[in-house]
Structure 1
Amino acid sequence: MTDLPDGMISPQARDALARWLTHLRALDGAAGNTLTAYGRDVSGFLAFLARHRGGAEGTAHLTTLPLTDLRAWMAHERARGLSARSLARALSAVKNFTAWLADRDGQDATTTLSARGPKYRRKLPRPLSEDGAQAMLDAVGDQHSEDWIAARDSAVVTLLYGCGLRISEALSLTGASHPLPDVLRITGKGGKTRLVPVLPAARDAVARYARLCPFDLTATEPLFRGARGGPLNPRLIALVMEKARMQLGLPATATPHALRHSFATHLLSAGGDLRAIQELLGHASLSTTQAYTAVDASRLMEVYEKAHPRA
């Protein structure tokens, strides 16, 4: 959503929004990007109401809004080209804000909280096959003529696939993480920490990189370095994977994040427990992890169709 002028929002509503965001940051540990998105979504909603209702208002009316006002806002956002997925996220932010107001002021926000968002098809993760993932790990290490850079790229992608890390999590590791322990403590989204077992292949790949790296990997500096010694830009890993996937004939969906998806899907295929996979990935909600059950079922159906073709 685009930013809207603060002048369209009453000082009382603007103050309430700031207090709510502070609450999310302090008590719920919401990440900075999440807070920015929530603030933008709710600001847009409040500005729309000011226009729709003929002027800026306080907060008392927000917990008793008729559904017609909420539907008018959603129709407005859709007409502006907002996707169903983004609108569902914005409505979730508005509901969260309204529920906080209602709880603070002792009001009943049932009407607002009962509003239904647009339906959208949740995008399924696009993992690589087990052979494809292994081929990618092998090919990434062949893309650069400098041994230490090739070893670095190989170590990063091995962490993504072998430990299910996000690219930001892998690149946030410092020299203090080397040599890799048996279990890594990872700080993920929202500042939440989780414990991730380290496979020997990942430990060996990082150790090889560290031996070849020409820079001093001090405890407080990034573990993975760029060519000039600064922090490694995640775009470089995306580019090296792009080159590798073109050589291997893999689809454009074979990205760094796809390796994390592959980690989860292959664990599930091997009989991994969904709750355990949720913990390893750092998902706040099991419903996010459950997307991998749909992926697994889809792959099983593909195998079934090939083994039992229709006459």
Structure 2
Amino acid sequence: MNTRHLQRVIPGVDTSDGAGVRLRRSVGATPGLRLDPFLMLDQFGTDNPDDYIAGFPPHPHRGFETVTYMIDGHMRHEDHLGNIGELKSGGVQWMTAGRGVIHSEMPQQAAGRMRGFQLWINLPARDKLQPAAYRDIPADQIPTVPLAGDGYLKVIAGQATHAGETRSGPVNPTPGAMATDPLFLDLRLAPGTVFQHAVTAGHNALLYVYEGSLLVGQGDAVRELPTHAAGVLSDGDTVTITAGAEGGRYILIAGRPLGEPVVQYGPFVMNTREEIEQALDDYRNGRLVA
């Protein structure tokens, strides 16, 4: 067993996106903070509707996938294909922008807490121009494994084995997801709980703390990962974490790196400058989603 240790901490930086939705961005806050194949990780979370009510009006994407995990709240997705999806508490939307999608994500609540994550996952060059697609996955379709105390493990993507039982996430493998082989787990651990999980050697991996605190690693390599920060892990085949004195909630994400050049211009992620210019021209002239 080769245990991964905490290699780098990326604090969540306060920013806003869409029509002024307040959020914390860690991975992807600058181009140098990407973690192949992950382009961006945003955490949103507030009880103040002024921080989210304007939502994300229609906007384009090309060349990657987005995973939206709604822990609390209700958001509606609408896109150029005529799709309408309701993303509610505990649910996930997995969207492949592919060649192009123009969509909106608008709050369906005027009060209460809205909290969750959006993760951008790169697509390999061969799949960047595939047709757009998306899937809404309600909370009751996400496998939940009880852990010690009042803890649990939710398997959004990939596989998790606990007490001899293997659970698989509900995401159907798109070509891009097959290429990156993503793992996405949501964990709640009771105070002081030690948790181990296999992570494929050679895949990039990170942890994010959204409640409480966390110790990562074993022996002399143990380091603390604070709240609202992403922790990039070293290579290895296992991650060992210990919940802080108050317990906590965390996400664990891993994926196979693509090793391809990344050229990003806002919502467009391609491999060359020329492809970005083409995406912009397609968008300006109504060909992005053609």
- TM-score interval for Structure 1 and Structure 2 normalised by the shorter chain: under 0.3
Higher RCO (C-alpha 8 Å, min separation 6): 2
TM-score (norm 1): 0.21
The normalised TM-score by structure 2 is 0.22
Q: Larger Rg: 1 or 2? A: 1
Give the structure with the higher percent strand: 2
Structure 1 or 2: more helix by fraction: 1
